[in-house]
Structure 1
Amino acid sequence: MNERAKADNMDFLTEGTHPIVEAESVVFSYPGAANAALNGLTLRIPAGCRTAICGHNGSGKSTFFLHALGLHRPSSGRLLWKGTELSYQAKQLKKLRQQVGLVFQDPEQQLILNTPGEDVSYGLRNAGVAEADIRHRVKQVLNAMGLDRLTDTPLHHLSLGQKKRVALAGVLALEPELLLLDEPTAYLDRGSERQLMEELDRVHKSGITVVMATHDMNLAYAWADWILVMDQGRCVMAGTPEQVFRNEAAITALGLELPMLLELWQALPEQVREHSAPPRTVEEMKRYLNRLPFAGT
């Protein structure tokens, strides 16, 4: 069975893959807000997988991330890290924030010093890492991200894509077990997006659980192993990309769109599609169409 088929048939929470983070009936409201940002949120993030959390702006994706990092505390319900309820004592929170890294949508909110080298060093120094280890880790992570030639370049000279990769490097230098990314491809051109996604694939292959909040259905469909859909502070759908987007009525009822590639697939004659799983990338679609009898005519 190939990797795609394995994913399609896997119950991530019962067949050897355990949740790394769980939310159980979490309720949270921002001061002065008319509605709860999280309204009884219950979800599980499977360890070792690439998870996309989809939903419109305001559905609670970013607020959940802040809870997973311990920056917000539920008014009711609870968060669990590897099966243990989060503690909000300072010592435990410091340890949690070395295990969980968050990359914000806007890198300007995250980059605080003058150059990539200084900024990555700052996070490590703040975590109490020895100076010799800091120098080694900074060099290692910037090289891995293809940023070594920009180590001493002023941050204001960098492109948005480069700034996003510096923010990611700063988080990865802390060697987290869980990486959270809030709309990581927002405002990027296609080249910068492709480069960032290649970095995220490398990060995932190194053993880090990667979770992305996005309202880009095309990206979620092509990239994720597991998809969660949020609406009005609740998780309303969960499954593999095929399972989630198979429910077209539910997706459209939430005001979301089907991935363009899936819509194109469904527009093909049924006899062309039968006995085949829908492709999830343009390359897969091309390979499938090239194998059809009429492809060479």
Structure 2
Amino acid sequence: MTSPTPTHPVVELVKAGFAYEDGPAVLSGVDFPVAEGRAIALLGRNGSGKTTLLRLLSGGLRCGSGSLLLDGAEVAYDRKGLTRLRTTVQLVVQDPDDQLFAASVGQDVSFGPTNLGLPEEEVRLRVREALEALDIVALEDRPTHLLSYGQRKRAAIAGAVAMRPRVLIMDEPTAGLDPHGQERLLDALARLREAGTTVVMATHDVDLALRWADEAAVLSPAGLRTGPVAELLADDDLLAAARLRRPWGTSVARLLRAHGLLGADGVEPRTPEDLDAWVAAGAAGPRRSFRGSARALATE
């Protein structure tokens, strides 16, 4: 019987370390594989090294120790190696004003593909695809300085998407957005994932991470831990070390289990909307007793 061909993460940090000039180590011995087709939330307190890790992963910084692998091969930090990396991995920074520079949205989104030397027809196709993916086709000719903050966020992401990366990395993409803006951005990210893009998101929002991600990567003074998002965000010791609060959904699930309303293998509600749907369906058994228990929970 033929053994299956081994598969590598798309991009991976191996025993990576980094320190800024004349400063202590920000990261040390970090292993961080990014597998195809995943949604990964990177969490940690301020100053824990999240942004540094993202820049190492995208080639914006070079590992002081350890290595960065792309499809299992070590990245060369020459022009050819970095071009190959940046056509595979794209980073969107936290402040869109640090990324947008062209006069109009369409011009800005076209910059990356044009810089690759692609034919004009291919550039137009990529720009159209990116604008459609982020639901900003109507903004193509809009001057970037006239965009709202949420529109600038989506335009910056569209510029990265136009490069057709296999991995999209974002630093606090929902920061500064109102609830409606967050929902529109999450809808856009869902469309990108459906099209096959792997997404890594640094965030302080544990509720967003639990709702959105498949996996979590949590930075604490002990290093980086990775695993299923629900498992890591239920680890009180890890959350305390990383100075993160417990997600709302995790607390609700614990309360429901304590009252016998949710089995050990039951699907946990991760958002208020999940809980509403669960209550409406009478998911814990007979509707009368479930609703009576739910009322009891509400008064505690």
The reply to whether TM is greater than 0.5 is: yes
Which of 17, 31, 38 aligns to 1:49? It is 38
- The runs of at least 4 aligned residues of structure 1 exceeding 3 Å deviation read 294-297
**By how many angstroms is 1:232 displaced?**
4.3
Instruction: Name the stretch that deviates more: 146-155 or 268-277.
Output: 268-277
Structure 1 counterpart of 2:166: 177
CA distance in 1, matches of 2:11, 2:65: 17
Q: Does 1:144 align with 2:133?
A: yes
Which of 252, 255, 261 aligns to 2:243? It is 255
| 1:58–1:232 Cα contact (<8 Å) kept | no
Higher RCO by CA contacts (8 Å cutoff, separation 6 or greater): 1
Structure 1 counterpart of 2:12: 22
Quote the sequence identity (%): 37
**By how many angstroms is 1:121 displaced?**
1.4
**Deviation digits for residues 58-87 of structure 1, max 9, x if unmatched?**
211111111122221112111111211111
| 1:107–1:164 Cα contact (<8 Å) kept | yes
Structure 2 counterpart of 1:10: none
**By how many angstroms is 1:273 displaced?**
2.1
Structure 1 counterpart of 2:295: none
**Deviation digits for residues 92-140 of structure 1, max 9, x if unmatched?**
1112111111111100010011110110111221121111211222223
Count of aligned positions: 281
Map residues 238-277 of structure 1 onto 2, 5 A cutoff: 238-268=226-256, 269-275=258-264, 276-277=266-267
| RMSD between aligned residues | 1.9
Q: Does 1:159 align with 2:148?
A: yes
CA distance in 1, matches of 2:239, 2:135: 38
Q: In structure 2, do the counterparts of structure 1 residues 150 and 233 end up closer, same or farther at CA, with 3 Å as the change threshold? A: farther
| 2:36–2:198 Cα contact (<8 Å) kept | yes
**By how many angstroms is 1:246 displaced?**
2.5
Q: Secondary structure at the match of 1:67?
A: helix
**By how many angstroms is 1:296 displaced?**
5.7
Q: In structure 2, do the counterparts of structure 1 residues 140 and 219 end up closer, same or farther at CA, with 3 Å as the change threshold? A: same
**Deviation digits for residues 169-189 of structure 1, max 9, x if unmatched?**
111111111100111000100
Could you tell me which runs of 5 or more consecutive residues in structure 1 were left unpaired when the two chains were aligned. Answer: 1-13
CA distance in 1, matches of 2:53, 2:74: 15
CA distance in 2, matches of 1:57, 1:17: 34
CA distance in 2, matches of 1:89, 1:285: 51
Structure of larger gyration radius: 2
TM-score, normalising length from structure 2? 0.88
Q: Secondary structure at the match of 1:264?
A: helix
CA distance in 2, matches of 1:253, 1:240: 18
CA distance in 1, matches of 2:8, 2:263: 34
Structure 2 counterpart of 1:65: 54
CA distance in 1, matches of 2:78, 2:8: 25
**Deviation digits for residues 182-236 of structure 1, max 9, x if unmatched?**
110001000000000000011011011111111110010001111110124831x
Q: Does 1:282 align with 2:272?
A: yes
**By how many angstroms is 1:239 displaced?**
1.2
Which of 184, 187, 191 aligns to 1:195? It is 184
| 1:24–1:77 Cα contact (<8 Å) kept | yes
**By how many angstroms is 1:282 displaced?**
2.8
Amino acid in structure 2 at the alignment position of 1:244: L
Q: In structure 2, do the counterparts of structure 1 residues 267 and 202 end up closer, same or farther at CA, with 3 Å as the change threshold? A: same
Structure 2 counterpart of 1:117: 106
Could you tell me which runs of 5 or more consecutive residues in structure 2 were left unpaired when the two chains were aligned. Answer: 293-300
